[in-house]
Structure 1
């Protein structure tokens, strides 16, 4: 079953011309509480460490270079005041990123808004994990060692939807997504159209939910800072979490699963870190499953960037579900949580993305005949030892197995490739086409 070519497609320009007012919430004082925008959200490793703090600052500085003329406000601590920022105020944000101790969170924001009650057309923010400043020995016997990270960090940015109504704007957006993925060790993330809520987002969660129900291409992302655990697997030993005898960041073979690790879902951009790529079966398997002209896949840093179509889709009622998103979801849905939690904080008075609604929303791109998503195991399985790939691989293809490879198309070509690394082509060789052959180990001639 497919939805391809069954309904009209709105470009971002057409969607904005038709629905801009519907996608906005204007307050009595004429300020905007909700705006149509484009987001990029990533969850990344080692946010407490100095080299990563520098990489975070590099991302903030690049955003400033690209959009600084619009950036007027911000905040430099989690409980700090959201204010208009002079040069000195911006430097305070930059120093907070670099100088906050590793055992404290960096929670900073740079924004085109100067207060927490107005939605920002341009914004970038981060919330980092922390590292233990000393060994912690539990009364139950397990230890969290000094320097151990508490979990993943997150970074989110947004730009106005107007930006992606031109090819130059799309290029700017994509360039920044690539820059972030080049500089951070990304576990996962996503990007696409979304309602941009004021920093004081709680009061507008019901608006976000109403928009997401109406327009399937919109991401619910006001609580992205609360979702980092979903991308961060952990395991333990012992009778229960309350009676652990050992604790492991990540999935330790033979240990009990505390968090299996899932992706939130798909959008225009779906970003998969190496962990999820390997869980699927490797980059070659992913590329094969997603092999379609309108699906663009790019390996950057520690992650795969998967783009569903040439531009982000609103999923307006007359469009129906964006078909490229449905296709990518049909492949990647096995990486989703079969029982996700809510995406909004509980509100007894207004409809919102509580657990029931969130489960319906995350499954919106599933086809009617889609099988149930498998439940995760309760015990971390031991890795299956795979035989090395022995057949030849054409140049220009991703390496299917980490190891030593060589090609008769060039003398002294033997070298080590990482899995997923693109294997080069040697044009004009007397051997003809470049084909790489697996060489079992470094000592093999």
Structure 2
């Protein structure tokens, strides 16, 4: 009898399978550091990062993240710190709350907590705050970002912990939009050199998120009331929810057997499927729950975000211009095909149950 494949066991045996050498697809690569690592990552876009109330909420988000991650954290990177150095070993760093309270509202909130052996290694345990300055916020249209991630092995062993963390963080920050699913974390200090790896993987894994959220947040294309993408978890504030037809309309189109809705105060978090997807089956690599969610939210998705990566140096693969727009559309299907996708969902995909959802689902 063929033994059933156990993902958690395989990841525990060979955790390095999810790591990619640095600069792998650059002309002079590879180099001796971890350039990218596959993980489960959440991203929230929110406002008012310069205010004491939101800064305390960010500290509370990190408090909750630390309960999962602290034994693994090794480095803290900061951009333009008003005090101290850009790089500190985690064990020698002050608490996030202490550092934040010492900052002026016009100081740039920039904290990248990582778990790599080397300071420039990409890591699966990751917590990143990119907060706008007060004077920028007062000019209007400001948007800040919180990102955090956990290893895939951790998710396999603790299937509700990340979902709990994501929902609690959304309730604290009242984000406008956001998403969570599989992604490749890139080296904090060498993003540009590892974007080709992300682009290569995204072409083969349509369930992946791509792009650097902190860079996307304040480009002109990101300003309208739309969303970047759908994923395992997708955040819609009330304005976006209304533009999508409202909660009742979405629930009528998305079967409760495979989609869960959670109230986060400022809107809803939608869970698409029992677990995060990298891809679909051999016939079509697009995840079925993501395709169906994308279809009902396509009307509020950005048509373009300009580019998701920086420009090419030597012709290496990047998601820029047209290719970035195609990535946004990667889950699109014709209306005439939707009945078939719904049939596949009900026949082939696992249903939600108590082991894959939180009790407060709507």
Q: By the TM > 0.5 criterion, same fold?
A: yes
**Structure 1 position 209 matched with structure 2 position 199:** yes
The aligned counterpart of 2:349 is none
- Map of 1:81-160 to 2, 5 A cutoff? 81-87=86-92, 89-91=93-95, 93-113=96-116, 115-132=118-135, 147=138, 149=140, 151-160=142-151
1:370 Cα deviation from its structure 2 partner: 7.8
The aligned counterpart of 2:248 is 284
**Structure 1 position 333 matched with structure 2 position 298:** yes
1:73 to 57, 72, 75: 75
The aligned counterpart of 1:183 is 172
Task: Give distance in 1, aligned partners of 2:291 and 2:6.
Answer: 17
Query: Structure 2: any 5+ residue segments left out of the alignment?
Result: 23-29, 338-360
User: Cα 1:158–1:343, aligned 2, differ >3 Å: closer, same or farther?
Assistant: same
Residue 132 of structure 1 contacts residue 150 of structure 1 at CA under 8 Å; is this kept in 2?
Answer: no
The aligned counterpart of 2:325 is 359
1:270 to 234, 252, 261: 234
1:48 Cα deviation from its structure 2 partner: 0.9
Task: Give distance in 1, aligned partners of 2:13 and 2:280.
Answer: 10
The aligned counterpart of 1:323 is 288
| SS of aligned partner of 2:218 | helix
| TM-score (ref. length: structure 2) | 0.80
User: Cα 1:114–1:96, aligned 2, differ >3 Å: closer, same or farther?
Assistant: farther
Task: Give distance in 2, aligned partners of 1:301 and 1:232.
Answer: 26
- Map of 1:208-287 to 2, 5 A cutoff? 208-221=198-211, 223-229=212-218, 259-287=223-251
Task: Give distance in 1, aligned partners of 2:336 and 2:186.
Answer: 33
Larger Rg: 1
Deviates more, 1:303-312 or 1:313-322: 313-322
- Count of aligned pairs between the two proteins: 322
The aligned counterpart of 2:275 is 311
Q: Which has the higher contact order (CA 8 A, sep 6+)?
A: 2
Task: Give distance in 1, aligned partners of 2:41 and 2:258.
Answer: 21
RMSD: 3.0
User: Cα 1:149–1:105, aligned 2, differ >3 Å: closer, same or farther?
Assistant: farther
Task: Give distance in 2, aligned partners of 1:296 and 1:33.
Answer: 34
Task: Give distance in 2, aligned partners of 1:162 and 1:81.
Answer: 30
User: Cα 1:108–1:357, aligned 2, differ >3 Å: closer, same or farther?
Assistant: same
Deviates more, 1:280-289 or 1:189-198: 280-289
Task: Give distance in 2, aligned partners of 1:19 and 1:215.
Answer: 20
**Structure 1 position 26 matched with structure 2 position 31:** no
Task: Give distance in 2, aligned partners of 1:365 and 1:194.
Answer: 16
Task: Give distance in 2, aligned partners of 1:326 and 1:64.
Answer: 34
1:219 Cα deviation from its structure 2 partner: 1.1
Higher helix residue share: 2
1:286 Cα deviation from its structure 2 partner: 2.3
| TM-score (ref. length: structure 1) | 0.66
User: Cα 1:355–1:329, aligned 2, differ >3 Å: closer, same or farther?
Assistant: same
